[in-house]
Chain A
Amino acid sequence: MTTLRANLNIVRGRISPPLIALLLAILLFLAGGLINPDFLNVVQALNIVRLAAFLGIIAAGQTLVIISGKEGIDLSVGSIVTLGAILVFRITNGADALVPLGLIVALLVGAGIGLVNGLGITLIGIPPLVMTLGMTGVVEGLILIVTRGKLEGNTPPIMRTLISSPLVGEISGVVFIWIVFGVALWLLLERTTFGKQLFAVGVNRTTARLSGVRVQRVVVTTYVLSGMLAAFGGFMLLGFSQTVFLNLGAPYLFPSIAAVVVGGTVLAGGKGSYWGTMSGALVLTLIDSLLRALQLQEAYKLIVLGIILLSLISIYGRQRNLRQ
């Protein structure tokens, strides 16, 4: 037991969480091969990366919000994903030429919702958890009013081509977009003043303020970005599902948080990376695919998923001990 703990400590200390998650993903993939040899091939691997890309893109904003600290979390991403998809679906109505317009409107609406979240949290002081949860209700209400239950529209064919169909060889466009996302978020977090200030705000807001950081502005910007990125996630998801439904985004909400945590970003804020979230999205998608491959009954699937998640968190999601 002690040697196990010591080994775990070494793992925790030496290897960065994103790397652990990545190794874990590879291990899970190989484990999938043991269960079902058909699982272990390039097409399957690419398919999993493709599926993970959607979760990864949706979790991008969540990563930023969680880094911003002070219980920062965005529970409205699920509903914004749905709204974004619906907007593009309706505005384009299947016309390729209208895709840019649809995307811009979706992004602006997403940013607007994020702005309200950010202002409610910073200016009025509503805890992020309940503020964004309340906004989920508002967004769902907006969807109902706009659509009146009738989801009319169409998906432009170009979105399928660029997003979910194989683009280069067997690799879908979404994978490339995801890689671009990865680079862009790394740049944002590590190579811009905003990124550095975001980490500072996540660690200690008093220090940040006394060092000239406009804390409220940084926090609001973060929620705006989160709303925009979620709307973009909705756009991507539409390219994959080709249709919209009221529950399109909701299933991605908690996985987006789990992906961030599994990727080693600390829920308390001030520490983390988008690479980690990307690895986390891969791990979660793999687990999901594995459970599907096992063809378990829904009930058992849930139980196994719960246990796996719990063990994942316990590898490196641990908090500081009170006694040193």
Chain B
Amino acid sequence: MRSLQVRRFFARNTYLFALLLLGIVLAINTALQQNPFELRVLNGNLRVFFPLMVLVGGQAIVVIGGGIDLSVGAMVSLCNVITVTWITPESQPNDIALAILLICCVGLAAGFVNGLAVAYLRLQPIVTTYATSFAFAGLALLILPRPGGELPRDMTRFYRSTPGNIPVTLLFAGLIVIVWLILRSTRYGQYLFATGSKADSAYATGLPVNLIRLSTYVLSGLFAALAGISIAMNTGSGSPRIGDAMTLDSIVAVVLGGTRLSGGRGGILGAMIGVIILGSIRNLISLADVPTWSQTLVNALIIIAALAGPGLLRLVRRRSA
């Protein structure tokens, strides 16, 4: 009975291994440099990590629901360039709020296209979202052919602010996790996991499987929009290729965070921890004076080691059993 509860605990709290990794990475970080929790350092890091932390929220939901979204990066670029096009240093707060709302709608719409194609036209997610990513990237390039644009000072200042000595990005990340935990305890949460775990059974039980699949991509679009806005607020400008590298990073972070790539298991908290791990590894490498030409390799090797961790543990346990 005891072992059953342990099994269930690990099956449900898939982020535990990621948490362990994070502890190791942060400990090394502390040993090498300064305290990573010092406000200035923390805020500086989170500002860079935050957009991907938002983005993986959407990717995690899609993956839990049994799909994958290779268009997230292009959606980020699209929403990023729209942000700097629609919002200028002269924009009034009301206009800014409206613009942000509309940008979220753009993300939702982009996600809706993906969801429609995957859930209702029944196209294979990998190639479908890969195809739509071209269209989104093209649109981004059309709207802003060259990097540029400028945001109001207040927006960038807000993004760096630390109300009550807590970085505002951390507050928003916390907010997203809380919303996720609530969502998970709702009927939608049950349906999401059920659909990702075994779609046929979920359908036979009477779940609106197609609608749930659609919703995951729509949410992914929304998260991509928020990530695009965040990048603009961090850099103060926009770029049509800014999201390119984020797609594959988002998948690695989701898997590092304990979400099962075939669906039905995982969560946003783990994915966010995954992002922090990825970012911290990069920081570590630059702190540890790794020779320039070796940095890429060392980074990749650490990531592979981290990905292999849970599997290796299982292997060792099976051998010793």
- Touch A–B, Cβ below 8 Å: yes
Interface residues of A (CB under 8 A from B): 71, 73, 75, 120, 123-127, 129-131, 133-138, 140-142, 144-145, 148-149, 254, 257-258, 261, 267, 298-307, 309-310, 313-314, 317-323
Q: Judge whether A71 and B135 touch: CB under 8 Å.
A: no
With A124-B308, A130-B261 as known contacts, state yes or no: A306 contacts B131, CB within 8 Å.
yes
Q: How far is the CB of A56 from chain B (nearest CB, A)?
A: 18
In the assembled complex, the Cα of A309 lies from the Cα of B129 at a distance in Å of 10
With A126-B307, A299-B142, A322-B199 given, name 14 new contacts (CB 8 A). Answer: A134-B300, A140-B300, A141-B298, A298-B141, A299-B139, A302-B138, A303-B135, A306-B134, A306-B136, A306-B137, A309-B130, A310-B128, A314-B121, A318-B123
Q: Judge if B23 is at the interface, Cβ distance under 8 Å.
A: no
Residues of B within 8 A of A299 (CB): 138-139, 141-142, 145
In the assembled complex, the Cα of A98 lies from the Cα of B199 at a distance in Å of 55
Q: Judge whether A127 and B248 touch: CB under 8 Å.
A: no
B:253-301 near A, CB below 8 Å: 255, 261-262, 293-301
Q: Judge whether A124 and B315 touch: CB under 8 Å.
A: yes
Q: 8 A-B contacts, Cβ less than 8 Å apart?
A: A120-B304, A134-B300, A137-B299, A267-B124, A300-B138, A303-B135, A317-B124, A319-B123
Residues of A within 8 A of B315 (CB): 123-124
With A313-B128, A314-B123, A319-B124 as known contacts, state yes or no: A306 contacts B297, CB within 8 Å.
no
Q: Judge whether B300 and A127 touch: CB under 8 Å.
A: no
B:9-59 near A, CB below 8 Å: none
Q: Judge if B132 is at the interface, Cβ distance under 8 Å.
A: yes
The total of Cβ contacts below 8 Å across the A-B interface reads 153
Query: Binary interface profile of B, 224-252, with partner A (CB < 8 Å = 1, else 0)?
Result: 00000000000000000000000010011
In the assembled complex, the Cα of A260 lies from the Cα of B261 at a distance in Å of 21
With A130-B261, A309-B131 as known contacts, state yes or no: A124 contacts B138, CB within 8 Å.
no
In the assembled complex, the Cα of A246 lies from the Cα of B10 at a distance in Å of 42
Residues of B within 8 A of A137 (CB): 296-297, 299-300, 303-304
Q: Judge whether B251 and A133 touch: CB under 8 Å.
A: yes
In the assembled complex, the Cα of A141 lies from the Cα of B141 at a distance in Å of 30
Most buried by A among B294, B298, B300, B312: B300
Q: Is the interface of B mostly helix, strand, loop or mixed?
A: helix
Looking across the interface, which residue of chain B has its beta carbon closest to that of A296? B138
Q: How far is the CB of A292 from chain B (nearest CB, A)?
A: 15
Q: Judge if B209 is at the interface, Cβ distance under 8 Å.
A: yes
Q: Judge if B181 is at the interface, Cβ distance under 8 Å.
A: no
Q: How far is the CB of A168 from chain B (nearest CB, A)?
A: 36
Q: Judge whether A310 and B199 touch: CB under 8 Å.
A: no
Residues of A within 8 A of B199 (CB): 322
Q: Judge whether B308 and A120 touch: CB under 8 Å.
A: yes
In the assembled complex, the Cα of A124 lies from the Cα of B124 at a distance in Å of 27
Q: Judge whether A130 and B124 touch: CB under 8 Å.
A: no
B:134-156 near A, CB below 8 Å: 134-139, 141-142, 145
In the assembled complex, the Cα of A304 lies from the Cα of B132 at a distance in Å of 10
In the assembled complex, the Cα of A71 lies from the Cα of B124 at a distance in Å of 12
Q: Judge whether A129 and B251 touch: CB under 8 Å.
A: yes
Query: Binary interface profile of B, 102-128, with partner A (CB < 8 Å = 1, else 0)?
Result: 000000000000000100011110111
Q: Is the interface of A mostly helix, strand, loop or mixed?
A: helix
Looking across the interface, which residue of chain A has its beta carbon closest to that of B254? A130
Most buried by A among B128, B203, B296: B296
7 A-B pairs closest in CB distance: A141-B297, A137-B300, A302-B138, A306-B135, A306-B134, A303-B138, A309-B131
Residues of A within 8 A of B314 (CB): 125
In the assembled complex, the Cα of A317 lies from the Cα of B294 at a distance in Å of 41
Residues of A within 8 A of B145 (CB): 299
Q: Judge whether B127 and A124 touch: CB under 8 Å.
A: no
In the assembled complex, the Cα of A138 lies from the Cα of B131 at a distance in Å of 27
Q: How far is the CB of A135 from chain B (nearest CB, A)?
A: 7
Residues of B within 8 A of A321 (CB): 122
Q: How far is the CB of B23 from chain A (nearest CB, A)?
A: 21
In the assembled complex, the Cα of A54 lies from the Cα of B139 at a distance in Å of 29
Q: Judge whether A130 and B135 touch: CB under 8 Å.
A: no
Q: How far is the CB of A42 from chain B (nearest CB, A)?
A: 31
Residues of B within 8 A of A140 (CB): 296-297, 300
Residues of A within 8 A of B301 (CB): 138, 141
Q: Judge if B133 is at the interface, Cβ distance under 8 Å.
A: yes
Q: Judge if B95 is at the interface, Cβ distance under 8 Å.
A: no
Cβ-neighbour of A144 out of B123, B203, B297, B304 (below 8 A): B297
In the assembled complex, the Cα of A245 lies from the Cα of B312 at a distance in Å of 36
Q: Judge if B163 is at the interface, Cβ distance under 8 Å.
A: no
In the assembled complex, the Cα of A223 lies from the Cα of B144 at a distance in Å of 41
Q: Judge if B90 is at the interface, Cβ distance under 8 Å.
A: no
Q: Judge if B164 is at the interface, Cβ distance under 8 Å.
A: no
Residues of A within 8 A of B127 (CB): 257-258, 261, 267, 309, 313, 317
Residues of A within 8 A of B138 (CB): 298-306
Q: Judge whether B293 and A144 touch: CB under 8 Å.
A: yes
Residues of A within 8 A of B311 (CB): 123-126
In the assembled complex, the Cα of A137 lies from the Cα of B282 at a distance in Å of 13
Q: How far is the CB of B310 from chain A (nearest CB, A)?
A: 8
Cβ-neighbour of A127 out of B122, B262, B294 (below 8 A): B262
Cβ-neighbour of A148 out of B122, B135, B137, B293 (below 8 A): B293
Cβ-neighbour of B133 out of A75, A301, A306 (below 8 A): A306
Residues of B within 8 A of A75 (CB): 248
Q: How far is the CB of A209 from chain B (nearest CB, A)?
A: 17
Most buried by A among B130, B137, B210, B301: B130
Residues of A within 8 A of B134 (CB): 302-303, 305-306, 309
Q: How far is the CB of A256 from chain B (nearest CB, A)?
A: 12
Cβ-neighbour of A318 out of B122, B142, B209 (below 8 A): B122
Residues of A within 8 A of B136 (CB): 306
In the assembled complex, the Cα of A136 lies from the Cα of B295 at a distance in Å of 14
Q: Judge whether B132 and A141 touch: CB under 8 Å.
A: no
